[in-house]
Amino acid sequence: MVSHADILILGGGIIGCALADELARHGCRVLIVERERLGQEASSAAAGILSAQVDCVQPDSVFELCQAARRMYPRWVEHLERRSDLSVGYHVDGIVSLAMNGREERVLSRQARWQLKQGLRVERWSRKELRRNEPYVDAAIHAGFYFPNEAQVDNVRLMQALAIACRKAGVEVKEQTTVNRLIVRGCVIRGVETNRGQLSARIVVNCLGSWASMGGSFPVPVPIEPLRGQMLAFRSSSRVFRRILVSQRAYVVQRRDNRLICGSTMEPAGFTKVLTIEGMEGILSGLRQISRALDPCLFLEAWAGFRPATADRRPILGKTAIDGLYVAAGHFRHGILLAPITAQVMADLILRGRSVLDIKPFSPQRFAS
Ligand SMILES: Cc1cc2nc3c(=O)[nH]c(=O)nc-3n(C[C@H](O)[C@H](O)[C@H](O)COP(=O)(O)OP(=O)(O)OC[C@H]3O[C@@H](n4cnc5c(N)ncnc54)[C@H](O)[C@@H]3O)c2cc1C
């Protein structure tokens, strides 16, 4: 087998590309193998919400990872925008989490309390304050919790910028190339077999997102299941919301061009990439509970994608028992946020054998038994 690269990255979503860019900038010869085109799956389907607080229900290892990612984001965006000459729509507008009733308010109050103790910013807004700050939200909404440090990014633009950055850093990309199986001799990785022949490398990183188990043929257990998310996009004639709004039933992210990105469902539906009446109706009724000001908005498009979910909802990051074989997958609802920190900890691990952050809670070995 001819040696093709120092490091093979399987999967060209945001995780594979962020890691490839990081490794190439450290001087490695990196090759991404991608079945379709870079970033066409979950990484483009996402809403681009960078939530290191709203989605975190307890101060655990995922919360710590999200915090570290959020700290890295401004510099990562700067790097990508400089390399690509594209704007990726990164804005720290904050998120308002809406409490529709007293029970939801109690849950959000508990979350606000532990996050305030961690030194993070959260503000409780009464119904009146909520309407003052976001005039178009429905008057019946009980209260709002404002998380001012949360942000959004246009993940489709971000993927385009990242693809350009990768190529400029010297990453080789093989698109339309499917990895069929891994080549392992003894307990050492040698390369992969694709639909276009064999590729060899001493280091292989599985960044296949929802497909990481490769239909069960990946040589170590990576139990990740796809959770389908349906999404709808509309256009308004002006800026309706200043911040991202989320409720238990729906969320809406307004981009600067007045597109409204709305989601989402969370369904175990295998790899069936379709939209359903039930799914879309759920999003629409959730949106109408948030605001009737959206009623005249124009429908633009709808799509579905797969969140890569592990049973414990933690990503899988680290070395496997096979020499030279690594996994960086299972980022569930946080992959857009977690891309820069994943790239950093995985590059540290591959190049120096250790990472600045404790990634033991994310080890692939936790599924090894
Ligand atoms: C509807 C929805 C909304 C979301 N919203 C957010 C959000 O607001 N914020 C956030 O942080 N995260 C969000 N997420 C989650 C985020 O999108 C994912 O966690 C992230 O994109 C995962 O990136 P990835 O690179 O691991 O996977 P992917 O982007 O899915 O990339 C995996 C790649 O592997 C390729 N591949 C698969 N099999 C093979 C093979 N055999 N050979 C070669 N290539 C292969 C695929 O084609 C794909 O390009 C959302 C996800 C969805 C679905």
Q: How does pLDDT run across 140-154, given as a tens digit for each residue?
A: 999 999 999 999 999
Q: Read off the pLDDT of each residue in 164-188 and give the average, rounded to a whole number.
A: 98
Measured CA to CA in angstroms, residue 111 lies from 71, 80, 104, 344 at distances of 20, 33, 11, 29
Q: Pocket of ligand 1, candidates 31, 35, 306: which has the most ligand atoms within 8 Å of its Cβ, to mutate?
A: 35
Q: Who lines ligand 1 at CB under 6 A? A: 10-16, 33-36, 40-43, 45-49, 178-179, 207-211, 229, 231, 263-264, 305-308, 329, 331-337
Q: Read off the pLDDT of each residue in 199-220 and give the average, rounded to a whole number.
A: 97
Q: Quote the percentage of the chain above a pLDDT of 90.
A: 98
Q: Does domain 7-83+155-223+312-367 have CATH number 3.50.50.60?
A: yes
Query: What would the CATH number be for the domain defined by 224-310?
Result: 3.30.9.10
Domain boundaries, the chain: 7-83+155-223+312-367, 95-148, 224-310
**Ligand 1 atom 3 nearest Cα:** 46
Whether 1 shows a pLDDT value over 80: the answer reads no
**In the chain, beta strands by DSSP E:** 7-10, 30-33, 49-50, 95-99, 123-126, 143-147, 151-152, 172-174, 179-185, 188-194, 197-200, 203-206, 224-235, 244-246, 251-254, 259-263, 298-310, 316-319, 325-329
Does this chain's domain 7-83+155-223+312-367 share its CATH topology with 224-310? no
- Residue 166: its pLDDT value, please? 98
Q: Cα-Cα-Cα-Cα dihedral of 267, 269, 16, 50, to 10°? A: -10
Quote the CA–CA distance of 280 and 283 in Å, as a whole number: 5
Whether 363 shows a pLDDT value over 90: the answer reads yes
- Residue 368: its pLDDT value, please? 85
Q: What is the pTM of this model?
A: 0.98
Quote the CA–CA distance of 23 and 30 in Å, as a whole number: 7
Positive or negative, the Cα torsion across 192, 180, 22, 359? negative
**Ligand 1 atom 50 nearest Cα:** 46
Please answer whether residues 21 and 12 qualify as being in contact, where contact means their C-beta atoms are separated by less than 8 angstroms: no
Other residues' Cβ atoms within 10 Å of the Cβ of residue 118 = 12
Q: 130-143: per-residue pLDDT in tens?
A: 999 999 999 999 99
Q: 4-26: per-residue pLDDT in tens?
A: 689 999 999 999 999 999 999 99
Q: Read off the pLDDT of each residue in 151-173 and give the average, rounded to a whole number.
A: 98
Separation of CA 303 and ligand 1 centre (Å): 14
Q: 250-298: per-residue pLDDT in tens?
A: 999 999 999 999 999 999 999 999 999 999 999 999 999 999 999 999 9
Residue 335 CA: nearest ligand 1 atom is: 19
Separation of CA 210 and ligand 1 centre (Å): 7
Of 82-91, 255-264, 360-369, give the lowest mean pLDDT range.
360-369
Residue 331 CA: nearest ligand 1 atom is: 19
Q: Pocket of ligand 1, candidates 331, 332, 337: which has the most ligand atoms within 8 Å of its Cβ, to mutate?
A: 331
- Residue 277: its pLDDT value, please? 98
Whether 315 shows a pLDDT value over 70: the answer reads yes
Return the bridge partners of 191, or none. Answer: 183, 200
Q: Read off the pLDDT of each residue in 304-326 and give the average, rounded to a whole number.
A: 97
Q: 90-115: per-residue pLDDT in tens?
A: 999 999 999 999 999 999 999 999 99
pLDDT band at 3 (very low <50, low <70, confident <90, very high): low
Q: Pocket of ligand 1, candidates 10, 15, 40, 41: which has the most ligand atoms within 8 Å of its Cβ, to mutate?
A: 41
